[in-house]
Structure 1
Amino acid sequence: MNSFAAVIFDCDGVLVNSEVIAVKAEMAALAGIGLDYAPDVFTERFLGLPERDFEAALDADHRARFGDGLPAGFFEDLHRGKHAAMERGIAAIEGVEAFARSLAVPMAVASSAGVESLAMKLRVAGLDALFAPHVYSADLVARGKPAPDLFEHAAGRLGADPAACLVIEDSVNGVRAAIAAGAVCWGFTGGGHCPPGHDERLLAAGAHAVHGGFAAIAAAYASTPPGSFASGGRA
């Protein structure tokens, strides 16, 4: 029998397809003001960061390249555009609802998204009731991913030791946060937004295994106790 005490899910790119929508909107908006990023560089640096850290990093990049901060109103316009696109296009990742409903242990969402944005995504995807009340935003902790605070917070609210939890994450920053918290972490590349080689980046960040879909996650969860995991596997 599997011996995880709890399962903690990232949201964007794990529960819902929002990363596909967000990355497209963000990269287009940034290219429009002269900040171009290769897709793999963008995902490795920025996926999983809290909004405040994402915005600070982009502002620093703009200052380094052009000598001043981002144009006034840039983030307000970007967030409005992303929010509208997400409300039109968000859907649950294939297989995630069935996997979550199959679990016999407590589960939570731990996301870098803001409280309101996180609530909207889960509501539009029809997953809000499945995880309530254990839905936790980086707004609730002092340090966001890649610091361990958010996963420690979620585990604590579930009454679980982080070391006994399974975390499912799609970002390098999220994997680093889960590992720093002492959890078992499985990387996920089935969100539709991961560039080639992303599985290798997740493994290099410390993921114990990487899975390309929830069918593979369900099979691994059913068959392998957490203590047997060693870094370096993929499915």
Structure 2
Amino acid sequence: MASIDLLISDCDGVIVDSEIISHRVLFEALSLHVPAEQLHAALEGTFGLTVPSIIDLIEKRFGLAMPETFDADLRRQSEKVVAEEVQAIPGVREALLAIKLPLAVASNSRLHNVESSLQRAGLVERVAGNIFCAEMVRSPKPAPDVYLLAAERMGVAPGHCLVVEDSPTGVLAARTAGMQVIGFTGASHIPAGHDQALRELGVAAVINDMRDLPAAVEALAR
């Protein structure tokens, strides 16, 4: 097994408990166009995807064309509500400070949102500007681009990177990039049985509490 020289963390659902907030805002906006019961079913398993991807999925599934301003209006509202309400995942700051590896963040969110989330979590200095987002690459997760960019910019081969992810989308991106992954299932939006879904995608370990992250990293490093 290759040595671990870089830790890369997802942001939403790993550093901050934002996915449940974003999903609520998205659901409220889409429910103006799609009956709530059908919408619940259509949105199952979409967390981790970019908002444009989800909107495209809904439009195709229900034969809709959303208003031209829908995406921009939704983004503004979601960013506003997340900034007002989001909290750090319990124990994440202490866990990431305890791990003596360089740290990068790779996210499908936009750069200024990740920066705001890191500020809320008290991790700005720990990350030290090593933030890589979907807007910096050709294709967002589940493509491996953002993880490969993080590895390249940090000067570490993909096989020597360890990723912390909560979504199948992110796990697939990291695994396609050739990286080991620890699955995290402790955020508010995580459904029952999600740990098994992540294991089936090839994660090396699953944790439900950030206090367990340093030991999980150490075990894989050995």
Task: Tell me the TM-score normalized by structure 2.
Answer: 0.89
**Conservation of the 8 A alpha-carbon contact between 1:90 and 1:125:** no
Question: RMSD value over aligned CA atoms?
Answer: 2.1
Give CA deviations for 1:9-42 in whole Å, capped at 9, x if unaligned. 0000000111121111112222221064437x63
Partner of 1:229: none
Partner of 1:48: 48
Q: Which runs of 4+ in 1 moved over 6 A?
A: none
Partner of 2:211: 215
Distance 1:224 1:209 in 2: 9
Distance 2:77 2:134 in 1: 22
Partner of 1:38: 40
Distance 1:24 1:61 in 2: 16
Distance 1:144 1:79 in 2: 17
Equivalent of residue 183 in structure 1, options 179, 185, 203:
179
Give CA deviations for 1:120-157 in whole Å, capped at 9, x if unaligned. 22223332222122011111111111111111111122
Helix, strand or coil at the partner of 1:32? coil
Give CA deviations for 1:51-100 in whole Å, capped at 9, x if unaligned. 3xx3144234324413x411232222222221121111122111111111
* Correspondence 1:141-160 to 2 at 5 A: 141-160=137-156
* Partner AA of 1:22 in structure 2: S
Q: Runs of 5+ in structure 2 lacking a partner? A: none
* Partner AA of 2:135 in structure 1: D
* Correspondence 1:18-97 to 2 at 5 A: 18-34=18-34, 36-38=38-40, 42=43, 44=45, 46-49=46-49, 51=50, 54-66=51-63, 68-97=64-93
**Cα shift at 1:5:** 0.7
Distance 2:117 2:100 in 1: 24
* Correspondence 1:73-152 to 2 at 5 A: 73-152=69-148
Q: Runs of 5+ in structure 1 lacking a partner? A: 227-235
Give CA deviations for 1:182-215 in whole Å, capped at 9, x if unaligned. 1110111111111112112212222222110112
Q: Percent of pairs identical after alignment? A: 34
Distance 1:31 1:15 in 2: 28
Distance 2:10 2:180 in 1: 14
Distance 1:15 1:43 in 2: 22
Task: Tell me the TM-score normalized by structure 1.
Answer: 0.85
Equivalent of residue 166 in structure 1, options 162, 181, 188:
162
1:59 to 1:146, Cα distance in 2 relative to 1, 3 A: closer
1:9 to 1:56, Cα distance in 2 relative to 1, 3 A: closer
* Partner AA of 2:43 in structure 1: F
